[in-house]
Amino acid sequence: MSAVIRIVECPSNSITVHRKGYQPPRTVWRLPDEEIRFTRPVRLLTMQRLALFDLDNTLVDRSEAFRRWAVEFCADRELPDDALAWLIATDQDGAVPRNWFFGEVTERFGLAASVDETWRQYRRRMPELVSCPQEVLASLTLLRDDGWTVAIVTNGQADNQLGKIRRTGLDRCVDAWAVSGELGIRKPAREILEAAARGCGLDLSGGGWAIGDSPVLDVEGGRAAGLATLWVSRGKDWPAELAPPNRTVTDVVAAVRVLRGEASAEGHPDQPPAAGVSGLTTVRRVVSESPRTPRGS
């Protein structure tokens, strides 16, 4: 959605515009004097209300579910005392490929079961151990009630990830999901984000937000797809070598509050405007990037 506006006068630090359907012209924004440098038509973009959420360690507590699985796994097989710490360290919070992980597990503990069978048992059990706090489900419901379209984008095997979505009740709180094991596409590829948007009857050309805990998969992937990004930090520091996200929060409930405009969050100066609102940031960007801007010439 967009509207073409024409700046017709710039008294003091205000912008007065002619806009179709509005007569007479009226002042609609106030900007610092230095931001107003010329009079010309500009296109004001409005971002669609699309929120693409990561699943593991964003909507659900995957780390705690894995720890519980590892405790059971060690107890059932009477593994040595250091096995639990080794499993948690080797898992790397789910960052390593599962076939590699279970290959390492099978070799270290000399398991009789095959790698594939141990991995299958894991995928059957994990959805039973994962939890989604009630406040997260309630937040997603409020977000959709506000007119947002919500989808889940997750890497992982279909049986495991779909089991988590359905057993936690998330399937009743979102409009669609895209699971890499079903699609054969993994984050951070743009295509899996596009698939999630299509599942909602939308496309990425209208913009939206990518929300998740992974700096690379969620934030870098979302930014590359042209989305605004909201990082769920879980108390961690942002990697210094990466460009920062548009917003940072500690958990997904806070992320929803930011999207709904109820709370502020850490961010950088080029934050996009809130979805659905013609934003002051957009005006500044259009003005400052114009080739007719005298500053810096």
Per-residue pLDDT of the chain (297 residues; tens, 9 = 90+): 433 433 333 444 444 444 444 444 444 444 444 443 434 444 445 789 999 999 999 999 999 999 999 999 999 999 999 999 999 999 999 999 999 999 999 999 999 999 999 999 999 999 999 999 999 999 999 999 999 999 999 999 999 999 999 999 999 999 999 999 999 999 999 999 999 999 999 999 999 999 999 999 999 999 999 999 999 999 999 999 999 999 999 999 999 999 999 644 555 434 454 444 333 322 222 222 333 332 232
Q: Tokens for 47?
A: 């971002």
Query: Rounded to two decimals, what is the model's pTM?
Result: 0.76
Q: Tokens for 157?
A: 């095997």
| Torsion region of 235: left, alpha or beta (phi above 0 gives left; psi -120 to 50 gives alpha) | left
The distance in angstroms from the start CA to the end CA of the chain is: 32
Fold of 50-60+132-267: Rossmann fold (3.40.50)
CA distance 230 to 219: 7
Angle (CA) 29 32 38, round 5°: 80
Determine contact, residues 111/105, Cβ cutoff 8 Å. yes
CA distance 117 to 82: 23
Pick the closest to residue 122 from 161, 168, 79, 170 (CA basis). Answer: 161
Determine contact, residues 244/268, Cβ cutoff 8 Å. yes
Q: Tokens for 46?
A: 């409005």
